[in-house]
């Protein structure tokens, strides 16, 4: 599995009603410095219906980007049980997920 596929594997672990951050996914890859790379992988996502990249937000709970537009990201988040107000996740700390099952592939390089 290459790094892009592994990143998608991690993001698919985020349960319904929860979100995570670019940095948390990068940490699960093994290096928090890869946050921007995680953002690029999310942007390249070929199918937002099977890979829930909409669940990845910024570390302050603001939404970040989304290839299909912010309105669609908000719609998807709300359908997943996540409240959004003024461009931020409501109760961000409560819905934040970082309990990834990982073998930290970047640490093996």
- 37-74 burial, b at 16+ Cβ within 10 Å, e below that, comes to bbbebbeebeebeebbbbbbbbeebebbebeeeeeebb
Cα(31)–Cα(24) distance, rounded to whole angstroms?
9
Q: Yes or no: say if 37 and 4 are a contact pair by the CB < 8 Å rule.
A: no
Active site residue 53: yes
- Would you tell me the crossing angle of helices 22-29 and 35-44 to the nearest 10 degrees? 110
Catalytic residue among 53, 57, 63, 89: 53
Instruction: Give the catalytic positions in this structure.
Output: 53
């Amino acid at each position: 599995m290459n790094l892009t596929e592994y990143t998608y594997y991690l993001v698919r672990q985020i349960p319904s009603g929860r979100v995570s951050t670019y940095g948390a996914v990068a940490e699960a890859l093994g290096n928090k410095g890869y946050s921007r790379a995680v953002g690029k992988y999310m942007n390249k996502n070929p199918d937002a219906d099977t890979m829930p990249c909409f669940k990845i937000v910024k570390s302050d709970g603001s939404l970040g980007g989304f290839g299909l537009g912010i309105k669609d990201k908000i719609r998807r988040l709300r359908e997943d049980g996540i409240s959004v107000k003024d461009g931020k996740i409501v109760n961000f700390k409560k819905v934040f997920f970082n309990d990834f099952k990982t073998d930290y592939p970047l640490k093996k390089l």
